[in-house]
A = this chain, B = another copy of it.
Amino acid sequence: MQRIGILTGGGDAPGLNAVIRAVVKSADQHGGYEVLGFKDGFEGCLDPEGVVELSLDAVHGILPRGGTILGAANRGNPFARKVVRAGKEVMEDVSDQVVGRIEQLELESLIVVGGDGTLHIALELFRKGMPIIGIPKTIDNDIEGTDVTFGFDTAVNTATEALDRLHTTAEAHHRVIVLELMGRDAGFIALQAGIAGGADVILIPEIPFDFKGICETIQGRAGRGRHFSTVAVAEGARPKGGEQVFRRAGDELATARLGGIGQTVAEYVEGVCGMESRVVVLGHLQRGGSPTAFDRWLATRFGAAAFRLAVQQAHGRMVALRGSNIVDLPLDEALAVPKRVDLNGDGILTARTLGLCLGD
């Protein structure tokens, strides 16, 4: 009986359970393999109680469920693990313990499901000789090596549905409603949900925005009888000139700066453009819920593909989606550069063709 390990790391994303189930079902079908799950990401490799055998029963019924039955801790970087020593929080490199644990358990492969951060850790562990296979997971879609990852489609649907809900209220009450979405460095959720949800203004981190342009769009709409607008803004979107702008805008934005960028935009619209406005911060609602069909389909294909890599002992690789196909590529190549919205791609082009305001 050969052993495969699996762990999930980083922020929550719908589809993690579908991956785990796919690996376990694949191992059961293949025969000759047992699957061990580590609890709370790499933490489970440090704790003797952190390992659980994953039988078919353990994964029964989890396909449609958000979250991860394995848990996913937040301080889980074994190269820089937060610990308290003499009353002070310090970083400790415990990666050798992780390596030792994997060897002790005689794992043939360790499947690591995670985002950019977790996969970089996995790559370092691979360089230390561990039999790593990576599966990308990110709400933000910021991993270059794959067209898209699971969790993203669910998040975009959640955000789009939120825009639908807000749209009718904005229209009935002649308001501007600002929806702040996830995306610290990459604006994929705001761009796709913004277009799918009919937002009039879409602000993303890749394009520093100008408050004036927003006002022109909103007031232009009002001039054509549309006394309402909706704005989709990524949490990482920033105005041209950054902090300077806030300072110039003066006191009325003081409290807004304590909130996020959504709050700032809403206060600007109300204070300067003269339209009543409201803000909704979607936050963690984007990370939960039952995964969409696409995310379950992708996560299941990723899980099955990762298991096949394990059988082939093809370590140091990451599974990925290219067009309609699942491929695999070296982890270091997949993670070389983070992915950002292509300013010449057809998402941005579509927004411009339709005349949406991108803030520039």
How many angstroms between the C-alpha atoms of A159 and B72 in the bound complex?
25
Inter-chain contacts of A325 with B (CB < 8 A): 345-346
Closest chain B residue to A305, Cβ basis: B346
A-B contact sample (9 more), CB < 8 A, given A66-B168, A322-B323 = A11-B173, A71-B173, A147-B324, A153-B294, A166-B285, A169-B288, A259-B259, A292-B292, A301-B347
How many angstroms between the C-alpha atoms of A287 and B66 in the bound complex?
23
Minimal beta-carbon separation of A7 from chain B (angstroms): 12
Q: Decide: B353 and A169 in contact? CB cutoff 8 A.
A: no
Closest chain B residue to A227, Cβ basis: B71
A160 interface residue, CB < 8 Å from B?
yes
A349 interface residue, CB < 8 Å from B?
yes
> Chain B CB within 10 Å — which of A40, A165, A322 has the most?
A165
- What per-residue 1/0 map shows which CB atoms of A175-196 lie under 8 Å from chain B? 0010000000000000011011
Closest chain B residue to A311, Cβ basis: B353
Q: Decide: A64 and B304 in contact? CB cutoff 8 A.
A: no
Minimal beta-carbon separation of A351 from chain B (angstroms): 9
How many angstroms between the C-alpha atoms of A283 and B294 in the bound complex?
21
Inter-chain contacts of A164 with B (CB < 8 A): 64, 288-290
Inter-chain contacts of A312 with B (CB < 8 A): none
> Chain B CB within 10 Å — which of A158, A159, A259, A296 has the most?
A296
Q: How many copies does the complex hold?
A: 4
Q: Decide: A326 and B301 in contact? CB cutoff 8 A.
A: no
Interface residues in A1-15 (C-beta closer than 8 Å to B): 8, 11-12
A147-B324, A148-B324, A193-B293 given; A168·B67 CB < 8 A = yes
Inter-chain contacts of A162 with B (CB < 8 A): 285
Inter-chain contacts of A308 with B (CB < 8 A): 353
Majority secondary structure of chain A interface residues (helix, strand, loop or mixed)? helix
**Chain A to chain B contacts (Cβ below 8 Å), 24 pairs:** A12-B172, A25-B354, A26-B353, A26-B355, A29-B353, A29-B355, A56-B224, A63-B198, A67-B167, A67-B171, A67-B172, A70-B172, A71-B174, A73-B173, A73-B174, A147-B324, A162-B285, A165-B287, A166-B285, A168-B288, A196-B300, A304-B353, A325-B345, A325-B346
Minimal beta-carbon separation of A4 from chain B (angstroms): 13
Q: Decide: B354 and A26 in contact? CB cutoff 8 A.
A: yes
A360 interface residue, CB < 8 Å from B?
no
**Which of B147, B167, B279, B293 is the one whose CB lies under 8 Å from A156?**
B293
How many angstroms between the C-alpha atoms of A147 and B68 in the bound complex?
31
A255 interface residue, CB < 8 Å from B?
yes
Interface residues in A243-265 (C-beta closer than 8 Å to B): 255, 258-259
